[in-house]
Structure 1
Amino acid sequence: MSFQLSQRWFHQIIILQMLVAWAQGSKKDLFEELWGLGKSASKQSGRRVLSHDLTMDEIFNYWQKMYGRWPSATFEQYLAEYRQRVDGAGRSWGTPKTDEELLDIYYFLRNRTQVPHAPGWTPERDKCGPVCHLYGTCNQELGICGCPRGRKGPDCATPVRTSCQEYCLYDDECHRIIREWCINECNGRGTCVGGVCHCYPGYFGADCSLSIDYDGGQGGRGPGATVLLAGLGYTDNPRGPRIYMYEFPPEMNLWGQLWVDRPLNVILWERFMSLGLREVDPAKADYFFIPGCARRCNKWDEKFQFIIEHYGQYWNRNHGRDHIMTHPGDWGRCERSWTDTFDSFVANVTMLQHWGITVDRSTETHHALFNSCYIPNQDILIPPMCGDMYWQYENNVWHPYRRHSPILKTTLASLAGSICGWNSAEEPPCRKRYYSLGVRAALWQLRDTPGFQIAKRVPNIGQSMAESEFCFAPTGAGYGKRNVISVTLGCMPVIISDHVTQPYEPFLNWNEFGVWIPESDVKDTEVILRGLTPQQKAEKMEKLYCAARHLSFTTVYGGLFEGDTGEFDAVATLVHILRTRKRHPGVPDHKLMEVDPEFADLMACKHHNSTTAATDIDETPARPPTPPLPLAGITSKVQTTIDDEAYPQRTVTTAHWIKDANGKEAGQRDSSGGDMVAQASPPPRQLCLFNGDVVLYADHEVPEPSDITIKRDMRPGQCMPRNGNRPSGFPPGGSIMCPPTGPITKCERNV
């Protein structure tokens, strides 16, 4: 049965959850857990952020500064003219409340602004006719006029009533003309309305990065060829892989909010280009990227049909096996946000997702979506990227700030969060058997055990995790985030999830830097964690540091570790996986590091030069190897599974192994009730750092910050905030390695 996540249904569920939380007196906790609103306004240096829709006065002022630049008299004339227009229509002067009102003021300003056009473009050469560029953007390859939300028709001249609520999670973040809410800020070659780039004449694409080489003097491919960022010096990354990105009409993926709370899609969209991986000639592409949206996207059928109609020859080339798409929803491909008609279409696509269950457990859990949702050797389990994660990361034990205030490990193991259901106050026995596969309920029994901190809420979850040696990382209603958060904070993750692939597995062995306990052995958790020797834990911590770099989006948010160049971060790791798969077609993932030394060095966080031997960044002395552990993948319930073939190196830790390796007394609680001793964190390392209290220079009415202001407000070594108007401060090009202003071609490439 097809499962389609209705946008309106999802919105109503969110509202219902908030009302329930309000009634339970936990409204603040819910908002902080959902959207990471744990930062107070005072930590933003008192500067106002454009975090809500602008009033009409603010829209005029913003437009004048960014695009209009009219003489003062002309500006005042236009302002008075539009006031009369609003009064004549019987509307109030304030914030546009509908798409129709937003487009009315937008077109009023845009059509009075002189804008440039692409080199060689003329109205006669435009494939969509002379009217399209006034209201929308013409795809000069296909001759399709792409419209902003609120317009339709072959030239976007026809108004259509649309509901912001239908496409966006928040009504107050839907009606915007702020350029930062568009992909790559439209590359300075268009204006942004409601999250859609309205490109200057002749430019096209979701970010206005494309144009036609009409006279054959721009791209070297001859007259009529498509050019990427013409005139800005864009060059391909010679290492590849070359990725062709499909350009869909805006209503298929740009009418809704791309960011919401899971912006993986838009970050990869921008990063692939800033890394020099985007290819405009589909015949030369190694991969084809199908842009999605956030988790509220129900336009997959239309996208797939569009690909078949316009790019069928490239789809048929490998029957979709060279196509990749993101699905950051709770259950990945099991959400099936498409109809049954396209099941076969999606079957061969590489899904970049967060939910890694490989075995059908729907009967056991009474939940249809706990099915085999992840395909090993095809899909890639990418670390979750959510807006509520990164504000905790200055608690990272390796953060240079820890030099003056080191994190002390005072707890053996911790878990803070819902036990029986998302944002539920329920305690075991739980009604929902599927939630965390029952693991959280089992761990609840340890809440009064010395050395353990098991709670539904703690004042600061990031600090609580950083102060723990081990952090339980169970799943939730679908995928969990605690596995990645714990690693990045410097806490060894405890995985108790049979047949659930972990991020970047099998390239990372999670039992080497954490502890993977079979669900059948959850009763032995205390013995296992107490039974590990100091040397074994030190070996895990050493490997944890490298894993943290692979699982963190440091090139997006800023460095978390000293000396981190970003070359091993989550985006770089994904690119290397795609590149290595392309080099070695047909080789299963678990053998790629055997056949490709460069990739093996990358996963070990070593610099690799094809002419010299790999060098270890940390240059730490070698430690004795960890004793071999028994293979996982076989439990008492499932005798043979796909895991045995896909993850032959996966290991687990059991009480039996602990006692065999460390003695029969291993794991016993000492007389003091615990075996923890406060320990300082490893020596910190410095870099351009992630700034959780980032200073946001976002208000268009505030002048650019002076050097004195920056020195006063920014701590030494912090990354200069690139763009405070974007959700979560994401910079243009999706990378802190891009300049604060200027074209994306100036972004530093490290992959």
Structure 2
Amino acid sequence: MAARHMLGALSARRAVGTVDLDLAALSERCRQLAYPGIESCVSENNRCLNGCSGRGQCVAGFCHCKPGFFGTDCALSMGPDGKPALLADRGYVPRTRGPRVYMYELPPSMNTWRNELRLDRPTTRYFVERLVATGARVGDGDSADWYLIPITLRRSSDAWNMEKAVQYVRDTYPWWNRTQGHRHFVIATGDMGRIESERGRLSENVTFVTHWGLHADKPFSGWRASHRNATDIVLPVFLGPSKLSRMGIFTSRNHPKFATKAKPALRERNGPTFFFAGRICGDHSRPRTDGNWPHCQTQRSMGYSDGTRQLVHFHHWNRTGYFVAVGDSEYGKHLLTSKYCFGPTGGGHGQRQVGDPGGVAAVVSGVARSWGSVEDMQAALAGCVPVVISDNVLEAFEPFIDWNSFGVRLAEADIPRLHTVLDSIGPQEYARKVERLRCAAQHMAFSSITGAYMGEDGRYDAYETTLEILRAKAAHPDVPPEALRKVDPQLDAFLDCRDYTDSNPGSDSDSDSDSDSSMDSTSEDSAPDSASSAGSSAAEEVSTAEAAAAAAAGEHDASSNGADGDDAASTSAWRQHQQRQQQLQSESGDDDSNGNNGQLSQTVAQRLCSVSPFDVNDPHTPTCRQLSPRKGGPLYGGLMCIRQPTDLVACPRPWK
């Protein structure tokens, strides 16, 4: 077994060792990897996974490991039992909660020889780094619940990589054949999800984590079914801090301080009843307003958005209280003050992206900007109740999460009576949806990477939600997804953003924080009173958020990591717990103030830093700017690891 594992980790690295390529060969290699030239190809900006774990040298994105260590990130070594050990010299211990995820070692041509500088969707890379930071990764595949094939699946042309990787794993390791590909997963960030990169029977049992939940053909738009409900998981789209800030989400209505810290003009929900600002026609023409159909100027791209945007505009553009338009100069304001926001159907990644970034700057300066569409996930993050019109398309984490409990799911055939449906929702039902939205938004956010911005602590973010679903699926392999919550009380509690101990008082808490909720209201005496005290200006928060995005991506040194502080709501329960832990720490003589004690940092609850302007000047809430390391160097594992930016073993864990 040990020999097989070493073969899998080292087989393709012989070609890299000490062989020097001549200029022509190097130029050709760089061209194949889509670099514009040799200089960018060998640039130090080509970051290595996990910084080679401090056990090797990063050479143009490839880890050249020190003797005795191996693996894509040099994290592996051979233990005394002859089995691979993960960061054994750092005291790494997998978390008890699970799941236990084994990451295959692949030839660098399959996963590390990539143009990192052109990576526009970094979800897979962040996920891999979080596996170590959260304690979910294991070094021995025999002990794993799941097996990750860490390849880039960004577009349909990457399908060949999927085929080669599966063949390599099947021929080199024992676990694929033992499971017939079950309990194996990949992350595919392409617009059309699984269908872009699956390889027939070769990958039929693999779980695809994608952004596209279409499970039945849509002939009008020409889309083919892609999602397999029995195996696959729909993941929210990762939005970086700079984009979140420009959209105004750093001042989310979900933040416990919103009622007292937001600008007075934004505090009341007195905007449109129904809001949508974005492209209507696939041909980019202006939609007609004369009541005639077809609604667009030409017949090009008739299947755009499967016709939902066109129909919503056709029936409701001139309705009192409804804002349905191609653009909006007050997009950020309306996102926060509207009752309902429209999330139209569309390709997985693009469906949830904003076409024209503007955000907070547009709200602050009043400069007119033409925005892209208001999307379901973004509405949830901002605190606007999402209206989802997307037949046969599962939204993020459905069916595990019921979007109708915090939003409104409307059949496409009911678009003409949209106003009737919304009018039928009474004040109490609407209030319940808003309350549930605060939890649901946490599952849509990648807080452990971006920092907190709505009072969350990161325990229920999108990464942890994916891991929790994987854990439950492994524990109940024969239970269909729609029934999984009923048989797994831990999953049920997690998806409600409550500790499992709330339902099982006799069991020990599984969290590194003892607060009952990750979004408790902050005591007003601990926070500044005036909205102006939240920072010098929203524009400053925009620039610092962009620096935070660069920090998370390792693109700038720490001096520019900036204050992308979104909230990590300080609660009295958390403060009491932290004080108790600090007292115990002082009594034991341990000091983790510099992040040097990795074992301690995994057991002492530590706050996720905030990127919200609402938390600036709050002495009880650390902002990410305050915690930015002074020494230069990239940040791995997201902003949850900002206290230990290059040592993921020392990174605070959301769960034990």
State how far apart, in whole Å, the 2-side matches of 1:473 and 1:334 are.
23
Distance 1:458 1:522, change over 3 A: same
1:281 corresponds to:
140
Number of the residue aligned with 1:261: 120
Which SS does the other structure have where 1:244 is aligned?
strand
Q: In structure 2, the residue corresponding to 1:539 is in which secondary structure?
A: helix
- 2:377 maps to which of 472, 484, 505: 484
Inter-CA distance 611–282: structure 2 relative to 1 (3 Å threshold): same
Give, in whole Å, the separation in 2 of the partners of 1:725 and 1:347. Answer: 47
**Does structure 1 residue 328 correspond to structure 2 residue 189?**
yes
Distance 1:194 1:476, change over 3 A: farther
Is the CA contact (8 Å cut-off) linking 2:343 and 2:386 kept in structure 1? yes
Structure-2 residue corresponding to 1:405: 262
Cα pair 1:179 1:192 within 8 Å, conserved:
no
Q: Give the CA deviation at 1:164.
A: 4.7
Counterpart Cα distance in 1 of 2:108 and 2:415 = 49
Candidates 467, 473, 477, aligned match of 2:337: 467
Superposition CA RMSD, Å: 3.9
Alignment of 1:384-463 (within 5 A): 384-387=237-240, 389-391=243-245, 392=247, 393-399=249-255, 402=258, 403-406=260-263, 407=266, 408-409=268-269, 410-421=271-282, 424-425=284-285, 427=287, 428-429=295-296, 431-445=300-314, 446-459=316-329, 461-463=331-333
Name the CA distance, whole Å, in 2 between partners of 1:733 and 1:288. Answer: 20
Q: Given residue 382 of structure 1, which amino acid in structure 2 is its aligned partner? A: L
Matched residue, 2:50: 184
The correspondence of residues 327-366 of structure 1 with structure 2, limited to 5 A, is 327-336=188-197, 342-361=199-218, 363-365=219-221
Q: How does 1:452-601 map to 2 (within 5 A)?
A: 452-459=322-329, 461-479=331-349, 480-481=351-352, 482-562=375-455, 564-601=456-493
Pair 305,176 (structure 1): closer, same or farther in 2 beyond 3 Å = same
Secondary structure of 1:733 counterpart: coil
Alpha-carbon distance in structure 2 between the residues aligned to 1:181 and 1:208? 14
**Structure-1 separation of matches of 2:30 and 2:244:** 28
Of 367, 373, 392 in structure 1, the residue corresponding to residue 226 of structure 2 is 373
Q: Distance in 2 between matches of 1:588 and 1:491?
A: 31
Tell me which amino acid in the other structure corresponds to 1:583: A
Q: Is the 8 A contact 1:262 1:294 kept in 2?
A: no
- Range with bigger deviation, 158-167 or 245-254: 158-167
Q: What 5-or-longer segments of structure 1 have no aligned partner?
A: 1-126, 128-137, 217-221, 622-682
- Superposed CA deviations along residues 45-100 of structure 1, whole A, max 9, x for unmatched, are xxxxxxxxxxxxxxxxxxxxxxxxxxxxxxxxxxxxxxxxxxxxxxxxxxxxxxxx
- What displacement does 1:700 show? 11
**Is contact 2:559–2:629 with CA below 8 Å preserved after alignment?**
no
737 and 700 in structure 1: CA distance in 2 versus 1, 3 angstrom threshold: closer
Residue of structure 1 aligned with 2:235, choices 377, 382, 385: 382
Q: Corresponding residue for 1:239?
A: 97
SS in structure 2 of the partner of residue 472 of structure 1: strand
- In structure 2, C-alpha distance between the alignment counterparts of 1:324 and 1:432, rounded to whole Å: 34
Separation in 2 of the partners of 1:270 and 1:575? 13
Name the CA shift for 1:185/1:619 in 2 (closer, same or farther; >3 Å).
closer
Q: Specify the code of the residue in structure 1 equivalent to 2:624.
A: C
Number of residues paired by the alignment? 525
**Which residue of structure 2 lines up, in the alignment, with residue 272 of structure 1?**
131
Q: Deviations over 1:278-299 (max 9, x none)?
A: 1221222111101122615452
Residue 715 (structure 1) aligned with residue 582 (structure 2):
no
SS of equivalent to 1:191 = strand
Residues 1:289 and 1:375: Cα distance change in structure 2 (over 3 Å): same
Q: Residues 549 and 570 of structure 1 are in contact (CA less than 8 Å); yes or no, is this contact kept in structure 2? A: yes
SS at match of 2:220: helix
- Please tell me the residue identity of whatever aligns with 1:715: V
Q: Which moved more, 1:237-246 or 1:296-305?
A: 296-305
TM-score, scaled to structure 1: 0.63
CA distance in 2, matches of 1:184, 1:175: 19
Structure 2: distance between partners of 1:174 and 1:413: 47
Q: In structure 2, what is the Cα distance between the partners aligned to 1:516 and 1:235?
A: 43
How far off its partner does 1:210 sit?
Answer: 1.5
* Gap change, CA 1:452 and 1:193, over 3 Å in 2: farther
C-alpha displacement of 1:389: 4.4
TM-superposed CA distance for 1:332, in Å, is 0.5
Q: Partner of 1:348: helix, strand, or coil? A: coil
TM superposition shift of 1:460:
5.7
| Cα pair distance change 1:295/1:722, threshold 3 Å | farther
Larger radius of gyration: 1
Post-superposition CA distance 1:350-403 (Å, at most 9, x none)? 100010011122x332x2xx1120011210111111447423221311336633
Whether the 8 Å CA contact 1:243–1:287 is kept in 2: the answer is yes
Alpha-carbon spacing, 1:612–1:620, altered in 2? closer, same or farther (3 Å)? farther
Letter in 1 for 2:485: M
Q: Deviations over 1:654-693 (max 9, x none)?
A: xxxxxxxxxxxxxxxxxxxxxxxxxxxxx9xx9xxx9654
1:295–1:327 Cα contact (<8 Å) kept: yes
Report how far residue 142 of structure 1 moved: 4.9
The CA deviation at 1:302 is: 1.9
Q: Which piece of structure 1 moves more, 466-475 or 323-332?
A: 466-475
Alignment of 1:659-738 (within 5 A): 692-694=542-544, 696=547, 715-716=616-617, 717-720=622-625, 731-738=635-642
Q: Does 1:309 align with 2:167?
A: no
Give distance in 1, aligned partners of 2:209 and 2:629. 27
Residue 300 of structure 1 pairs with residue 162 of structure 2: yes
Change (3 A) 1:580 1:358: same
Identity of aligned residues (%): 30
Distance 1:561 1:315 in 2: 41
Q: Which residue number corresponds to residue 656 of structure 1?
A: none
What letter corresponds to residue 327 of structure 1 in structure 2? Answer: A
Local SS of the residue matching 1:181: coil
Aligned partners of 2:630, 2:330: CA distance in 1, in Å? 25
Matched-pair contact (CA < 8 Å) for 1:576–1:599: yes
Q: Distance in 2 between matches of 1:529 and 1:425?
A: 29
How far residue 477 of structure 1 moved from its aligned partner, in angstroms, is 3.9
TM-score normalised by structure 2 residue count: 0.72
Secondary structure of 1:495's partner?
strand
